[in-house]
Structure 1
Amino acid sequence: MKLAITGPTSGIGEVAFSKLTPYFNEVFLLARNESKANKLIQSLSSPDQKKVRFIYCDLADMDSVVSAAKSILDKTSTLDVLINNAGGIFQNKEVTKDGFEMGLSTNHLGHFLLTHHLMPVLLNSNGAKVINVSSEGHRAAKVDFDDLNYEKKKFSSFVSYANVKLFNILFTKSLADKYGEKGLNAYALHPGVVKTNFGKETSGVFSFFWKLASPFMITAEEGAKTTIFLAKTKIDSLKNGYYFKKSKPLKPSSEANSKKMRERLWKESEALLKSWL
């Protein structure tokens, strides 16, 4: 069994990585910071350390994403679980070197591209899983497919975040639509409101509510439980493409269930990423 995970050096990603590594024969740790990655690997038991391969991957740099996927393809012919965990909320509008709004790039486009290039090894596995970390924040999405990079309208950190978390669910359902019959399973999840450094990237009303909610937030250990559950547990095939919370299926927003929206998102994502597909 082989696992690949993005964003494993902090928060729920770190917990998921540490807890899941003993269950896999080989683990690909995709991250930007090699020093942090190496410290994390060294925290594992000696047998588990030997299972892990660090692969440099920056989801804000599509050349890096393609290179990371190629590194995995060079090292294995199968991949059983891909956890698209990395993500973030950005206080101000930032644009990547590829011309994408930072939240769109790191939360959706990077993972779309990574999954696309890893599809051959995923489909070579028996019942492989793609697990996308979304959020209940998706219910506040206000998507404008004609301005995904905020070139026309005013940037809102919270709406940008809500949109990409909706995209995580739409992407999950598209994967089930397109590849379910070929044996691929895809799931999205809400980890809970986790007490990490995540909210420090925000300001304004969202920052205020984040601080207000802080005493009621859960730990990263609790927040990683649904990711770990989905990675380890055989899920009924009828639940392929489902959204989970507290390790149970949860009905997402009506937009998240929209076939029209997920088909539009797939089309727009391919158009934005055409140079790297």
Structure 2
Amino acid sequence: MSSMKEQRSETAGGFEHITGVKYFGHFLLTHLLLDLLKKSSPSRIINAVCLDYNSGRIDFDDLYLTKEEYNPWHSHFVASLEMIMFTREFGKRFKDTGVTANMVQPGHLDTRFGKLLKERYPHAPPVDPVEVGARPMLYCALEKGIERVTGTYFTAECTQRPVAPHALDDEVASRLWDVTKKMVGLK
């Protein structure tokens, strides 16, 4: 993940860099492509998330992540939780449009982020080749029989799994959706 930075920085849109890249940018891009995705249906959106979302919390008073001392890991955890809530909410709001959205946890991969994780935390799980992480993404994009599955979390082993209880808060997910739309300049 090249968006992991030690010092706080912001995107051109004023978002904290990690959440801007990992969540707000995806939210905006999905909405900008939505008409095309509907015209091209059936269409599938696959969002990569990580297990670390369990450590994330949504603070509506600090979505720009400016109130606490900067911690890139906290930003990473928050962005992962935001992406899970976005994907679940998308699945509800666009259920019968022919466009589905699912999330995939591709595993711990041999990327720059995976190497950073191993450097910082020597006891972190071993990393897998990126090809291993591509498998669940391709599964969600191409597998017959899951065309109508939406808002669902898939593991690196291509199995469906429920998300943690705090990621199932429909009220928070709906509010996050509405607030994010305003933050990225959508009506």
TM-score, normalization: structure 2?
Answer: 0.90
Does residue 1:98 correspond to 2:23, yes or no? Answer: no
Distance (Å, rounded) in 2 between the aligned partners of 1:253 and 1:89 = 24
Q: Which has the larger radius of gyration?
A: 1
Equivalent residue letter for 2:130: A
User: Which has more strand, going by share of residues?
Assistant: 1
Find the residue that maps to 1:185 and give its secondary structure.
strand
- Checking the alignment, whether the CA contact within 8 Å between 1:255 and 1:261 is kept in structure 2 is no
- Checking the alignment, whether the CA contact within 8 Å between 2:100 and 2:148 is kept in structure 1 is no
The count of residues paired between Structure 1 and Structure 2 equals 186
Aligned residue in 2 for 1:128: 43
Note the alpha carbon deviations across 1:221-247, whole angstroms, 9 max, x for none: 111110011111134366321000011
Aligned residue in 1 for 2:149: 239
- Checking the alignment, whether the CA contact within 8 Å between 2:38 and 2:98 is kept in structure 1 is yes
Higher RCO, Cα 8 Å, sep 6+: 2
The ranges of structure 1 where at least 4 consecutive aligned residues each deviate by more than 6 angstroms after the TM superposition are none
Compared with structure 1, are the counterparts of its residues 92 and 104 closer, same or farther at alpha carbon in structure 2 (3 Å cutoff)? same
Find the residue that maps to 1:130 and give its secondary structure.
strand
Shift of 1:97: 2.5
1:220 to 130, 145, 152: 130
Compared with structure 1, are the counterparts of its residues 111 and 272 closer, same or farther at alpha carbon in structure 2 (3 Å cutoff)? same
Compared with structure 1, are the counterparts of its residues 236 and 223 closer, same or farther at alpha carbon in structure 2 (3 Å cutoff)? closer
Does residue 1:272 correspond to 2:183, yes or no? Answer: yes
Equivalent residue letter for 1:151: T
Equivalent residue letter for 2:57: K
- Checking the alignment, whether the CA contact within 8 Å between 2:104 and 2:153 is kept in structure 1 is yes
Distance (Å, rounded) in 2 between the aligned partners of 1:235 and 1:133 = 21
Equivalent residue letter for 2:11: T
TM-score, normalization: structure 1?
Answer: 0.62
Find the residue that maps to 2:94 and give its secondary structure.
helix
Structure 2 portions without partners, runs of 5+: none
Q: CA RMSD in A?
A: 2.1
Aligned residue in 2 for 1:144: 59
Structure 1 residues 58-77: aligned runs within 5 Å: none
Does residue 1:208 correspond to 2:120, yes or no? Answer: yes
Aligned residue in 2 for 1:258: 169
Shift of 1:174: 1.3
Equivalent residue letter for 1:103: I
- Checking the alignment, whether the CA contact within 8 Å between 1:89 and 1:201 is kept in structure 2 is no
Note the alpha carbon deviations across 1:179-210, whole angstroms, 9 max, x for none: 111121110010001121114567xxx8521x
Distance (Å, rounded) in 2 between the aligned partners of 1:91 and 1:199 = 15
Structure 1 portions without partners, runs of 5+: 1-85
Overall identity of the aligned pairs, in % = 26
Note the alpha carbon deviations across 1:44-88, whole angstroms, 9 max, x for none: xxxxxxxxxxxxxxxxxxxxxxxxxxxxxxxxxxxxxxxxxx874
- Checking the alignment, whether the CA contact within 8 Å between 1:226 and 1:244 is kept in structure 2 is yes
Distance (Å, rounded) in 2 between the aligned partners of 1:259 and 1:237 = 23
Distance (Å, rounded) in 2 between the aligned partners of 1:238 and 1:182 = 10
Find the residue that maps to 1:147 and give its secondary structure.
coil
